[in-house]
Amino acid sequence: MATRKTAEQKREELRRKIAALKAQEQALAAKENQDQRKRDTRRKILAGAAALAHADLDPVFAAALRTALDAVLIKEADRALFQDWLTVAKESHAENQPPPASAPFVPTPPTDIENTNES
């Protein structure tokens, strides 16, 4: 004959189930976060590769990228990763440096030629 569980035994069993479900939920959230970090890292790698490839083709972009990297690379180990590229870029593109920007470029809307001739 099966023994009946007391109310306290039932509560304890439910607490164990709740704890197990919470652990599963936390594991799932951790996995989702890990996957998101992996996707983010992959995007950064691809964007960096595209930027470096474009810098090899466009000296003005290379100068802008070099300036941006100089501003954000604070750790010596990080700067060391780009030192060869920055040195080569500076040497090969020094004559193609863009002039310092005095003001940001603001496009002007096109004028309507037909309306200007009606006066």
User: pLDDT tens track of the chain, all 119 residues?
Assistant: 678 889 999 999 999 999 999 999 999 999 999 999 999 999 999 999 999 999 999 999 999 999 899 889 899 999 899 888 777 655 555 555 555 555 555 566 666 555 545 44
Token pair in block for residue 67: 């300036």
pLDDT at 85: 79
Under a CB-based contact definition with an 8 Å cutoff, are residues 52 and 85 in contact? Answer: yes
| Distances from the Cα of 83 to the Cα of 37, 71, 76, 87, 95, angstroms | 27, 14, 10, 6, 19
pLDDT at 68: 92
Q: State the residue range of the domain holding 37.
A: 11-46
Does 3 map to a domain?
no
38, part of any domain = yes
CB contact set of 63 (below 8 Å; sequence gap of 6+): 89, 93, 96, 97, 98
For residue 29, what pLDDT is reported?
97
Same domain, 69 and 94: yes
User: What does the H/E/C string look like for 6-71?
Assistant: CHHHHHHHHHHHHHHHHHHHHHHHHHHHHHHHHHHHHHHHHHHHHHHHHHHHCHHHHHHHHHHHHH
Q: How many domains does the chain have?
A: 2
CB of 13 within 8 A of CB of 5? yes
Do residues 39 and 70 both lie within one domain?
Answer: no
* Residue type, position 96, single letter: N
Structural domain contains residue 35: yes
Q: How far from the centroid of its chain's Cα atoms is residue 79's Cα? A: 18
